[in-house]
Amino acid sequence: MATDRRASWLKGVLDLLVLGCLTEGESYGYEIARRLDGAGLGRIRGGTLYPVLNRLETAGLLAAEYRAAERGPGRRYYRLTPEGERQLAEQSAAWDEFHATTRAVLAGAPATGTKGTHT
């Protein structure tokens, strides 16, 4: 059950994590997956990651460029667009608020009914 719960949590925040991986510059899918794994989030398979990258690109949050490689297959490099940077800042703030509220409830604090609550 813990693995199922963790996968569900990751699905809810994967778009934000992918955007966050690109704050220091462009990267490609395999390297993004390695960064997420190295951060302790586990292995993100291509069948999960590439639809996220495509969705973020379609939404105008990422720009992509295919580059041929000297050896091996070419790679598609992704970078944040100005709108992606704006969304990252906005969604990061929303995540911080959600995280703080969750931590408070888990620590026994009463729910305060702040914005963004759903029933």
Sequential DSSP letters for 36-103: HIIIII-PPPHHHHHHHHHHHHHTTSEEEEEE--SSS--EEEEEE-HHHHHHHHHHHHHHHHHHHHHH
The per-residue pLDDT string of the chain (119 residues; one tens digit each, 9 = 90 and over) reads: 456 788 888 888 999 999 999 999 999 999 999 999 999 999 999 999 999 999 999 999 999 999 998 888 899 999 999 999 999 999 999 999 999 999 999 999 776 655 555 54
**0.85 exceeded by pTM:** no
